[in-house]
Amino acid sequence: VFQSTPRAPPDVIFNLTASYKADTFKDKINLGVGAYRDNDGKPFVLPVVKKADAILHQDPALDHEYLPIGGIPTFTAASARLILGADSSAIKEKRVVGAQTISGTGANHLGALFLSRFYHPGAKILLSNPTWANHKAIFNNVGIETIDYPYWDAKKRGLDLEGMLNVIKSAPEKSIVLLHACAHNPTGVDPTQEQWKQIAEVIKQKNHFTFFDCAYQGFASGNLDKDAWAVRYFESQGLEFFVCQSYAKNFGLYGERAGCLTAVTSTPDAANRVFSQFEKLQRSEISNPPAYGARVVNLVLNDPTLSKQWQDDLTEMSGRIIAMRKALYSALKKLGTPGTWEHIVTQIGMFSFTGLTKEQVSVLKSKYHVYLTDNGRISMAGLNTSNVEYFAKAVDDVVRN
Ligand code: PMP
């Protein structure tokens, strides 16, 4: 039966982590995986999550029953408020529905699956070039073809707004446009508010459907509301859209798989119909979502004191990342490393697109035991006060030679 099954290539990121783990060099650095690490390079359990854990463990009513197909209703409602704002008109007018999903990946998948069934047949999705490696696979898996739009301008090490707008403008009407809500992965470059307005305008003119992916709310600026600005602006423009939320990074709940797919529609009736299809699709795929991570998030988002603590935890994480950006930038400046490095401090979120070439990345790995993806992306969270100088010296060497 399996004679003709071809071997699939290993996943790049997970493979990189495996090589890092197998490396016995004591000063090795893993800048591949997008997971927050503390200043000792250790995984970080957010203090607010520890509090929520303790509350949940003491709850005598806590059981292991199935959740509803669409997930915990107070979790999906709080997720909508988190991204759209508590005073969102769409929420007040009952035009918003959400389903709890298997983290952000599951939200992307459920949204993609819905569109493959109920959106214009043959519509393609426009993805930024580059984008999160999984986007293309997720949409292709449900039969939706992808088109790239320019995003990263390698020369200026910033956003290619003109290229992006041109492709969105020239795509057939009613295409689907995927936008990273904040902290673009992998470039760390987001449009400004003025640029977001131009993007929304073109999408409106062309009757495209917006598919927001929001995996880093709170990680871009450190402020949850600020990071939701683009999504809220689209709502204010009367646009309908999906937004995928992941609680992997901003709650540090990577393995718990807590996420949400929210639909902003134009009428309460449309919202109800969409939700009925979310439930129908979800039933045959996962039956019902996993409980634990969503219970933690549900508790925190619905409790003002815990929410405040969460914001403080986010400020701590994003603050450490910003400090590492500054430390890396000044170390490179001090070494006089050839090239411009301002983008290290101007880029935001967990990642930085360094501009290092594939060959330079390869030397970083073989000579310095520093692990990062071939496109030169580094996870800033992998840097700390003990290894940032070592990394800067390694970069300096590979750039010069
Ligand atoms: N979208 C983007 C852009 C991401 O970077 C990630 C995390 N790497 C995700 C979605 C989803 O991740 P998860 O399924 O772990 O929530």
The 10s digit of each residue's pLDDT in 322-364 is 999 999 999 999 999 999 999 999 999 999 999 999 999 999 9
Cβ of 188 less than 6 Å from ligand 1 = no
Write down the pTM of the prediction: 0.96
Beta-strand relationship, 125-129 and 351-353: unpaired
| Ligand 1 near 105 CB (within 6 A) | yes
Pairing of strands 158-159, 176-180: unpaired
Q: Given CA atoms 60, 80, 99, 193 in this order, what sign does their dihedral have?
A: negative
CB 122: neighbour CB atoms within 10 A?
10
Active site residues: 132, 213, 249
The answer to whether the CB of 256 is under 6 A from ligand 1 is no
pLDDT tens-digit map of 147-201:
999 999 988 889 999 999 999 999 999 999 999 999 999 999 999 999 999 999 9
In the chain, CATH 3.90.1150.10 covers 12-44+318-400
Q: Residue 191: what pLDDT?
A: 97
As annotated, the residues of the chain forming the CATH 3.40.640.10 domain(s) are 73-302
Q: Indicate if the pLDDT at residue 229 is higher than 90.
A: yes
Mean pLDDT, range 13-39, rounded to an integer: 93
Q: How buried is residue 353: exposed, middle or buried, by Cβ count under 10 Å (0-12/13-18/19+)?
A: buried
Radius of gyration of the chain (CA): 21
Question: From the CA of 182, how far away is ligand 1's center (Å)?
Answer: 12
Note the helical H segments in 9-160: 12-22, 47-58, 73-84, 89-92, 103-118, 134-141
> Can you name the CATH fold of 12-44+318-400?
Aspartate Aminotransferase, domain 1 (3.90.1150)
The model's confidence at residue 73, banded by pLDDT at 50, 70 and 90, is very high
* Position in ligand 1 atom list of the atom nearest CA 135: 1
Instruction: Give, for 370, the enclosing helix (H) or strand (E).
Output: strand 370-371
Helical H segments across 245-291, by residue range: 268-285
pLDDT band at 382 (very low <50, low <70, confident <90, very high): very high
One-character DSSP codes across 151-199: -EETTTTEE-HHHHHHHHHHSPTT-EEEEESSS-TTT-----HHHHHHH
| Residue 33 in this model has a pLDDT that exceeds 90 | no
Query: For a pocket test of ligand 1, which of 101, 105, 286 has the largest count of ligand atoms closer than 8 A to its C-beta?
Result: 105
pLDDT above 90 for 143:
yes
The ligand 1 atom nearest the CA atom of 248: 16
- What atom of ligand 1 comes closest to residue 103's alpha carbon? 16
CA of 168 to the centre of ligand 1 (A): 23
Options 3.30.70.2740, 3.30.420.40, 3.40.640.10, 3.90.1010.10; which CATH number does 73-302 get?
Answer: 3.40.640.10
CB-based contact 151:177 (threshold 8 Å): no
Residues near 74 by Cβ (< 8 Å), separated by ≥ 6? 298, 302
